[in-house]
Amino acid sequence: MTPRTARATLVVVLIMISVLAGFGIRAFWPWSSDGRSPAPPSPVSTADALQAAFVSVAERVRPAVVHVGTVQVARSRRGPTAPGPLADDPFFKDFFDQFFGRRGPGAPEEFRQQGLGSGVIFDKRGYVLTNFHVIKGADAVLLRLSSKQEFRGKVVGTDPKTDLAVVRFDPNIELAVAAMGNSDALRVGEWAIAIGNPFGLDQTVTVGVISATGRSDVGIATYENFIQTDASINPGNSGGPLVNLRGEVVGINTAIVAAGQGIGFAIPANMVKRVIGQLLERGKVTRGWIGISVQPLTQELAQSLGLKDTQGAVVARVYPEGPAAGAGIAQNDVIVGFEGTAVDDYSHLQRLTADAEVGKTVSVDIMRRGDRRTVKLKIAEAPDAAGPAVR
């Protein structure tokens, strides 16, 4: 190759490198139509955008959050007692006289216990979602909207096993309604916004992240599949919504860990939707039942049963004449699959069974002395006395 040819080749290579470099930069950096590159976003503009998102969500969802007040009346066993400060609470002004009548001389002495919580409007007809423990035992329910208007609520249906309840009032205004999101799509680390009335402080907004999903064995409800968040949740937040940055309700705040900070739990929206659908339709929740009680599959138990891992649920008891007994399931069988879904643990099996359609025939995969087999059984309706679908 001559010196002239070498120089020409070098020039062509340099031109090609420049062109390719230009395409590479364009692929990773936004260019304007005139070829000028805009300045990279500043930290200030990013913070402003995030702040605007939080403000937008709060403005959109807060009008759908209500203050839930309850009163429980009981006859005093110790003779005359003072009414106490509850009757003077501004939140309950005229509440007692309106709903219970004025107490005159010689009237039976009663004391009134106050309960406060939160709720969220999910239907323009005046349907409010809250926790069962907020309205449990209430003789009267008072709802206060963000507009400060107050309405008497009527309990439509309750589900103690998930700690959910639906209350209805008759609105005389156009209501703001919160949209329900898809809690199955939640990822750990996403932003979470809790809205409610902690300690009676109306319309409080706190911010955190989704700390975990699928929490069970918390000891709060029979059917547990909680979202864990570090958004501040305090007494009075119960029944209020946990919201994502799109303004969708992804959970209903229900409990805190009193011994620690930054640990709150919410019932996932997808579980909520299944429950309220049945409460509105028939006033109660019907669940599937297969007639067994189960226990966790520990490492020691798995080894004794000849299993390689701890995935599944051990059958501790089979109820006579139940679906499982009819299908031949026996004590110490390990259920590892339910209608094509791998069973993670006993809590997972409990949820799968409860959500199964009553009357439907399903396949159940079990391990017995190291052998895997599949049986068929028909889902029965869980009797109230039986408690969970599997126990």
The 8-class DSSP code of residue 322 comes to: S
Q: Which two tokens stand for residue 176?
A: 């703001």
CA 99 from chain center: how many Å? Answer: 33
CA 129 from chain center: how many Å? Answer: 12
What is the C-alpha to C-alpha distance for residues 41 and 44, in angstroms, rounded to an integer?
8
Residue 202 pairs in a beta bridge with none
What is the C-alpha to C-alpha distance for residues 90 and 202, in angstroms, rounded to an integer?
13
Active site residue 163: yes
Active site residue 133: yes
Question: For the residues of 1-53, what is the DSSP string, one character each?
Answer: --HHHHHHHHHHHHHHHHHHHHHHHHHHS---TTSPPPPPPPHHHHHHHHHHH
For the chain, the helix, strand and coil percentages under 3-state DSSP, each to the nearest 5: 30, 35, 40
Alpha-helical runs (H) found in 29-42 = none
Alpha-carbon separation of residue 99 from 137, 139, 170, 256, 342 (angstroms): 16, 9, 16, 32, 52
* Catalytic pick among 159, 163, 230, 365: 163
Alpha-carbon separation of residue 164 from 64, 200, 221, 381 (angstroms): 17, 20, 10, 20
Active site residue 94: no
Alpha-carbon separation of residue 200 from 54, 71, 303 (angstroms): 22, 15, 52
* Catalytic pick among 211, 216, 238, 293: 238
Q: Which two tokens stand for residue 172?
A: 């005389």
What is the C-alpha to C-alpha distance for residues 278 and 284, in angstroms, rounded to an integer?
6
Q: Which two tokens stand for residue 55?
A: 């403000």
Cα dihedral 95/117/348/184 (nearest 10): 110
* Catalytic pick among 133, 211, 232, 365: 133
Alpha-helical runs (H) found in 114-236 = 132-135
Active site residues: 133, 163, 238
